[in-house]
Amino acid sequence: MSAILDVLRAQGICTKADVSSISGGCINDAFKLSTDSGDIFVKTHNARNAVVMFEGEKESLQAISEAVPNFAPKPLCVGILPKGGAFLATTFLQLSKSSTPDMQVSFAKKLAKLHSTESPNGMFGFPVMTMCGSTEQDNEWEKDWETFFRERRLRPMLSKCLQDNPGDVELRKLGEVVIDKVIHHLLKDIEVKPVLIHGDLWSGNWGVDINDGPVVFDPSSCYGHNEMEFSILTMFGSPGHAFFKEYYSHHPRQEPGYEHRQGGYRGSSISIMRRLCRLVGK
């Protein structure tokens, strides 16, 4: 921790701090720093690509904070740890357990505003690589969503799965059909605009701050299809009716194919891929 404090002092963020350990999620260690400049949240990770992960998260938090003020903690700095790994420092959130219908409406309004923030260059992608959990995500810019989702998300995911399961013939066959045929079938009748998304918005990555209301954290952002956000958001502890009623008043569901696309965005499990492949007669 002394190395982290040295970096914070060198960057003029604080001069002294009291440190306490707190929950940091599934893969990180986390700390609350009570400093002379206010409370700071710090999380650390020892993996070789921890800098990539935290730089991606820092840029994601910065983009979200600029698009929707007080919707995410503000990133302060990323640094390298002396024995390997890295850390990320942000402003500290004071989360409550409130999730009333009014708060869900407020969450929907903020998320809808985020999803109204279009890509600065009109393309799909993000300026830096991000990580969703321990998975690196290539965010190279693409002109259309179909290409980005197929080549920057699904194909690398399939390749990684096949590396771990090289003998799985059904996985290979179904994955190739989904990537080469199903995705086009699901997207051909709708217009997709590149808007800023959180990228990993399950129920554990949003909450209610006692000062700022609904907030999001641990993002893995890109400029992509707003519908992709809901594949994760509805998978674990979905918001209620009030949230969706408000959100869809700003961004109506795109038809045809909304429910089928949600299946495609949720991942590449065998059961999902079998169902999707039936849409193109495979």
Task: Locate the domains of the chain by residue range.
Answer: 2-91, 96-280
Distance CA 96, CA 147 (A): 40
200 is catalytic: yes
Topology given in CATH for the domain delimited by 2-91: Phosphorylase Kinase; domain 1 (3.30.200)
Q: What is the pLDDT of residues 209-262, one digit of tens each?
A: 999 999 999 999 999 999 999 988 988 788 999 999 999 999 999 999 888 888
Task: Inform me whether the pLDDT recorded for 267 exceeds 60.
Answer: no
Q: What is the pLDDT of residues 90-139, one digit of tens each?
A: 999 999 877 789 999 999 999 999 999 999 999 999 999 999 888 899 99
Q: Residue 236 has what pLDDT?
A: 79
96-280: what CATH class? Answer: alpha beta
Catalytic residue selected from 180, 200, 209, 212: 200
Distances (CA, A) of 255 to 11, 37, 42, 103: 49, 49, 42, 28
Task: Inform me whether the pLDDT recorded for 263 exceeds 90.
Answer: no
Of residues 149 and 260, more confidently modeled:
149
CA-CA-CA-CA torsion sign (238, 244, 246, 250): positive
Q: What is the pLDDT of residues 56-102, one digit of tens each?
A: 999 999 999 999 999 999 999 999 999 899 999 999 999 987 778 99
